[in-house]
């Protein structure tokens, strides 16, 4: 993969969390949904595709089964969704409704880890609502979101145009059909395996080339309330300003290339100054802290 000064990763901050989620688990279901819209509460699933993998030594993944079905939402399908997904009302007319296929879906997931692309903010929310309508809870012991991994690895504008699945998949030479749930699930499974291998290789590298080398002095940390939820936490340092995009869960550089910075060091310093333990707590910071 392209790297600047030998530093492949922008930051490996999420790797410990991913490693902890995977450790001791033997199954993960990578899945993708197509829906009637973006609201998990008001819209419905119209296609579900899932690939089950056995997790082996070194977090290797071996395919162990698939689930793929259209689902009749018992409501009209917006024309925009047909344009995006290629799914028509005729294709859904004879498909099972969500109650008819629920037992099969529930058995397939069966408390396994889940993985996907933007799975935390989209797919799992729809599954939570779906299971809730069936009088059940969508239980899973943890999730692995490949979108977070892509943002952790690839720089937007330098490595990829954007962090959409299509762009990231093409970067790795993966051939798939965009907005086909079963192909998206398989592509995401392949991406997950690639990312895990990269993280494992990163752990094996000499410490001095894992990240950039600059260890800047922090001058100020400040929350910025962005438009329509696009908020950031800015960290002003003696080498330039970086920011944490709260909605995207990723770091970026305002006037400095963050791949020149030891981001593990910077994050640890920021967490210590704000007295927080992890990224989730850090993302809730709303104030301003000037460092003498």
- For residue 177, what pLDDT is reported? 60
User: Tell me, what's the pLDDT at 78?
Assistant: 94
Contacts of 269 (CB under 8 A, 6+ apart): 218
pLDDT at site 146:
92
pLDDT of residue 28: 97
Which residues does the chain have with pLDDT short of 70?
1-13, 157, 175-180, 204-211, 228-229, 292
pLDDT at res. 44: 97
**Calpha distance 100→103 (Å, rounded):** 7
What pLDDT, on a 0 to 100 scale, did the predictor assign at position 4?
A: 33
Strands 113-116 and 143-145, how do they pair?
Answer: parallel
C-alpha span between 22 and 44 (Å, rounded): 30
In the block, which residue shows the tokens 């104030």? Answer: 287
**What digits encode the pLDDT tens for the residues 166-191?**
888 888 888 666 556 787 788 889 99
pLDDT of residue 1: 38
Parallel, antiparallel or unpaired: strands 113-116 and 218-224: unpaired
Q: In terms of pTM, does the model score above 0.75?
A: no
On whether the CB atoms of residues 142 and 120 are closer than 8 A, the answer is no
> Which domains occur in the chain, in start order?
15-204 (3.30.420.10), 218-290 (no CATH)
Q: At what angle do helices 15-22 and 181-204 cross, to 10 degrees?
A: 110
How far, in Å, CA of 179 to CA of 202, rounded?
32
């Amino acid at each position: 993969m392209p790297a600047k000064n030998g530093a492949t990763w922008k930051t490996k901050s999420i790797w410990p969390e991913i490693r902890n989620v995977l450790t001791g688990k033997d199954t993960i279901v990578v899945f993708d949904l197509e829906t009637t819209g973006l609201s998990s509460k008001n819209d419905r699933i119209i296609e579900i595709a899932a690939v089950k993998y056995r997790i082996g030594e070194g977090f290797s993944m071996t395919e162990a089964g698939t689930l793929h079905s259209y689902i009749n939402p018992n409501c009209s399908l917006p024309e925009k969704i047909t344009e995006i997904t290629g799914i028509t009302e005729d294709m859904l007319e004879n498909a099972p409704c969500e109650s008819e296929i629920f037992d099969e879906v529930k058995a397939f997931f069966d408390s396994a880890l889940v993985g996907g692309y933007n799975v935390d903010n989209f797919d799992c929310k729809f599954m939570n609502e779906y299971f809730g309508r069936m009088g059940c809870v969508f239980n899973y012991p943890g999730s692995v979101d490949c979108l977070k991994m892509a943002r952790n690895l690839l720089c937007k504008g330098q490595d990829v145009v954007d962090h959409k699945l299509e762009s990231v998949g093409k970067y790795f030479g993966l051939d798939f059909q965009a907005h086909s749930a079963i192909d998206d699930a398989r592509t995401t499974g392949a991406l997950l395996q690639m990312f895990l291998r990269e993280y494992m290789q990163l752990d094996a590298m000499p410490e001095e080339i894992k990240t950039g080398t600059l260890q800047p002095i922090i001058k100020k940390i400040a929350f910025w309330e962005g438009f329509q939820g696009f908020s950031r936490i800015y960290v002003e340092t003696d080498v330039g300003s970086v920011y944490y995009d709260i909605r995207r869960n990723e770091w970026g550089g305002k006037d400095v290339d963050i791949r020149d910075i030891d981001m593990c060091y910077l994050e640890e310093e920021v967490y210590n100054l704000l007295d927080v333990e992890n990224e989730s707590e850090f993302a809730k910071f709303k104030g301003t802290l000037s460092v003498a």
